[in-house]
Amino acid sequence: MFTGIITDVGVVLELEQRGDLRARIGTSYDVNGIDIGASIACDGVCLTVVALGDTPQNWFDVEISAESVNKTNIGRNAWFVGRRINLERALKLADELGGHIVSGHVDGVAEIVGMEGEGDSTRYTFEAPAELARYIAEKGSVALNGTSLTVNEVEGSRFGVNIIPHTKDVTTWGDASVGDAVNLEIDTLARYVARLKAFEA
């Protein structure tokens, strides 16, 4: 379980197809404090650490199943050697819940269709898959590339969020551009509310 508060920006160091896709990710995390089998959200995808090292820099390896590749922007060639990715370690009991509850199970891929300056912030507009759009509500939460963000407005399958300069500085959102594929996880509460309404109907 995660909160959508990014704690490091890693970089993809290696990609290798070994049945499943294996990725090596450079990090500023102290790898001596990470256990084999630990979960780390990588651009919002919950992945399991299978190897660790610190030469020539700190790194960890993850294996990515075909299902995860197909459900995420990884399957759209968004990951490549040198790509920066948002990282978050799993939530511990008594940790501050600064964002919202994020599972790391990506529901689908949204596309950035607009970017516009708004004061010091940037307004990003996304096109969500039609089957997920009904779960996205104004002033609700979404996780985009692992980042907990508040929805400002919704119009059909499009929705907008504002990203402040601090968030752009400490995540990969400063690298984003129109046309990018973005991992989308809808709010768990919205999912269950929609299911309850379906049963009531």
pLDDT at position 63:
96
pLDDT at position 188:
74
pLDDT at position 199:
59
pLDDT at position 8:
98
> Tell me: the pLDDT tens digits for 94-145?
566 666 788 999 999 999 999 999 999 999 999 999 999 989 999 999 999 9
Residue 68 host element (H or E) = helix 66-71
Residue 84 host element (H or E) = strand 84-89
Question: What is the Cα–Cα distance from 86 to 194, expressed in whole angstroms?
Answer: 29
pLDDT at position 117:
95
Q: What is the mean pLDDT of the chain?
A: 92
pLDDT at position 93:
65
Question: What is the Cα–Cα distance from 190 to 196, expressed in whole angstroms?
Answer: 10
pLDDT at position 60:
98
Domains of the chain: 8-89 (2.40.30.20), 108-200 (2.40.30.20)
pLDDT at position 187:
84
pLDDT at position 198:
57
Question: What is the Cα–Cα distance from 18 to 45, expressed in whole angstroms?
Answer: 19
- AA letter at 53: G
pLDDT at position 98:
67
- AA letter at 100: H
Question: What is the Cα–Cα distance from 75 to 77, expressed in whole angstroms?
Answer: 5
> By percentage, how much of the chain surpasses pLDDT 70?
91
**pLDDT < 70 stretches in the chain:** 93-99, 190-201
